[in-house]
Amino acid sequence: MPNTESLNVAVVGTGYVGLGTAVMLAYLGHHVTGIDIDERKIEMLRRGELPIYEPGLADLLHASESRLTWTSDYAAAIPEADVIIVCVGTPPLPNGHPNLRYIAEAARSVAQNLNGKFQVIVNKSTVPVGTGDWVTRILEDNAPDYHANRYAVVSNPEFLREGTALHDSLYPDRIVLGSASQEGIERLRQLYRRLLEQDFTPPEGVPRPAGLARPQFVTTSLNSAEMIKYAANAFLALKISFANEIAGLCERVDADIEEVVHGIGHDQRIGHRFLVAGAGWGGSCFAKDTAALISTGAEYDYDMPILQAAVDVNRHQRQLVVSKLQRHLHRLQGKRVAVLGLAFKPNTDDLRDAPAHDCITRLMELGAQVVVHDPVAMEQARREWSHLSYQEASSAYDAVRGADAVILMTEWQEYHDLDWEQAVASMRRRLVIDTRNVLRQLPSDTVLEQIGRRRVQETHALPMLPVGASSVHV
């Protein structure tokens, strides 16, 4: 795709955010070099292989490969870059503060290789308020022949959802830029012009939504841009925890959470998005961002009880899943429990803060035999969850065979489309705990437990069935 306004861009970090950003900018016509100190990742990318799973990313990578370079050498990418985008991780420390070690290392490495022309250093990582000023100090201390107007630091928070990252990148609802440098803002306006004008040809697998409005171009101070990212994620976490708290009351008063959120979501002040009950939120953002805001408040002797309550409700939801199981099976010692879904959400292999991890951990503590399946995240779990003891199943049907219960933890389409009549017929007891409220019709002799919903399928007793016994649809 020709682009007369193409820039040389360096992207530091090839995780979920950095990799998607690099490939998207290359697709829009910029010349992009991705930098990562992990040589394994770099070699994979040079071979055209992805170190992560994200729908559509492989196709876009191959379509843009002529404008993509991968390296572990800062000196090969930074000197000629017009824009340098930092996308490294900021994992939480035990006290809730984000660990800024990787930001500092990246900033020093970038600074040491700046070449003296005007360059824009963009922080896309999620960082506490004040980090942009801190990065500026690192540049001052480490850049050769530093000059105050030579380098601009801009905060450009990302608002991507794993599983739909390409859609969110190409069709954003807003682009937020925070900086004291107007020249830096204008450089990034040039970088994102095609997104702002929406004048690019959409990739085949990521069509432009009908009636899409052009993204809002929001400019702020550095501090406000950094706070916008935290505040956005905290508010979404609040909506989920609110829905879960209402769901708990719904179960007690014989109301249905899905009917309730459908009704209140039509209020334009509330909306339907993220107002979903289930096993709680997970992933790389919500937990660490709420913790970071709470810990920042504590630094200034400022309590944040609403955010703390959202965290507490989320923690409770993970225990609720096993409590529902115990209500029917009582003692779990020796029981066989199938867990369907390991990733924190569908269409990703990301296991960070996945509710399934806490569920499996608790099942192990109670003596259950755990069998798991996930369409994508099994290999990742072997590396990251080696401390857990469970059996892997090659298919969902193999996982549920002979099980005393099934817990649906991730709403993969594969599980929604499962032949549940065949699946439950192979179970020892026909108990399904659907933590994502996606299942509707199961065989009539199956107990279906969901979050905040009426039990429309339940018998007075939960009999033990011979494996393979037949069943009939409702």
Provide Rg for the chain, Cα atoms: 24
* pLDDT at 5 > cutoff 60: yes
The answer to whether 208 touches 225, Cβ cutoff 8 Å, is no
Q: Report residue 136's pLDDT band, with 50, 70 and 90 as the boundaries.
A: very high
Give the dihedral sign, CA 257/260/266/270: negative
The C-alpha atoms of residue 277 and residue 177 are separated, in whole angstroms, by 33
pLDDT 10s digits, 417-458? 999 999 999 999 999 999 999 998 899 889 999 999 976 544
pLDDT of residue 160: 87
Count the alpha carbons within 13 Å of 76 in the hemisphere toward its beta carbon.
12
pLDDT 10s digits, 349-400? 999 999 999 999 999 999 999 999 999 999 999 999 999 999 999 999 999 9
Sole residue written with tokens 């549920």: 400
pLDDT top residue among 456 and 240: 240
Give the dihedral sign, CA 338/342/344/345: negative
Span 118-126, average pLDDT: 95
Q: Is 332 annotated as a binding residue?
A: no
For the domain made up of 221-474, the CATH class stated in words is alpha beta
pLDDT of residue 465: 39
pLDDT of residue 22: 97
Dump the DSSP string for 199-231. -SPPPTTSPPPTTPPPPEEEEE-HHHHHHHHHH
With pLDDT > 90 as the criterion, what percentage of the chain qualifies?
85
* pLDDT at 1 > cutoff 70: no
pLDDT 10s digits, 315-360? 999 999 999 999 999 999 999 999 999 999 999 999 999 999 999 9
CA distances from 150 to 76, 114, 125, 130, 221 (A): 20, 10, 22, 20, 19
Q: Is 90 annotated as a binding residue?
A: yes
pLDDT of residue 2: 42
DSSP state, residue 450 = E
Q: Report residue 474's pLDDT band, with 50, 70 and 90 as the boundaries.
A: very low
- Contacts (Cβ under 8 Å, ≥6 apart) of 75: 113
Q: Report residue 472's pLDDT band, with 50, 70 and 90 as the boundaries.
A: very low
The C-alpha atoms of residue 47 and residue 31 are separated, in whole angstroms, by 18
Span 64-88, average pLDDT: 97
The answer to whether 248 touches 405, Cβ cutoff 8 Å, is no
* pLDDT at 302 > cutoff 70: yes
* Domain-wise residue ranges, the chain: 8-220, 221-474
Span 287-305, average pLDDT: 93
Tell me what the pLDDT averaged over the chain comes to. Answer: 92
- Contacts (Cβ under 8 Å, ≥6 apart) of 7: 30, 31, 82, 83, 187, 190, 191
- Which residues are catalytic, by number? 285
Q: Is 194 annotated as a binding residue?
A: no
Q: Is 324 annotated as a binding residue?
A: no
**Cα 179–180–186 angle (5° rounding)?**
65
Count the alpha carbons within 13 Å of 274 in the hemisphere toward its beta carbon.
16
Dump the DSSP string for 177-195. EE-S-HHHHHHHHHHTHHH
The answer to whether 364 touches 370, Cβ cutoff 8 Å, is yes
Question: For residue 285, which of 89, 22, 107 has the smallest C-alpha distance?
Answer: 89
pLDDT of residue 372: 98
End-to-end CA, the chain:
54
If DSSP codes are grouped into helix, strand and coil, which group holds residue 84? strand
* pLDDT at 461 > cutoff 50: no
The C-alpha atoms of residue 49 and residue 6 are separated, in whole angstroms, by 25
Q: Is 33 annotated as a binding residue?
A: no
Q: Confirm whether 8-220 and 221-474 share one CATH topology.
A: yes
* pLDDT at 462 > cutoff 50: no
Q: Is 286 annotated as a binding residue?
A: no
In this prediction the pTM is 0.86
* pLDDT at 224 > cutoff 60: yes
CATH 3.30.1600.10 fits 8-220, yes or no: no
pLDDT of residue 460: 37
201, with CB counted inside 10 A (0-12, 13-18, 19+), is exposed
75, with CB counted inside 10 A (0-12, 13-18, 19+), is exposed
pLDDT of residue 297: 93
* pLDDT at 155 > cutoff 90: yes
If DSSP codes are grouped into helix, strand and coil, which group holds residue 198? coil
The answer to whether 381 touches 348, Cβ cutoff 8 Å, is no
Span 274-278, average pLDDT: 92
Span 205-211, average pLDDT: 93
Edge to edge, what strands does the sheet with 431-434 contain? 391-392, 369-373, 336-340, 405-408, 431-434, 447-450
Sole residue written with tokens 């697998």: 205
Describe the chain by its helix, strand, coil percentages, rounded to 5: 40, 15, 45
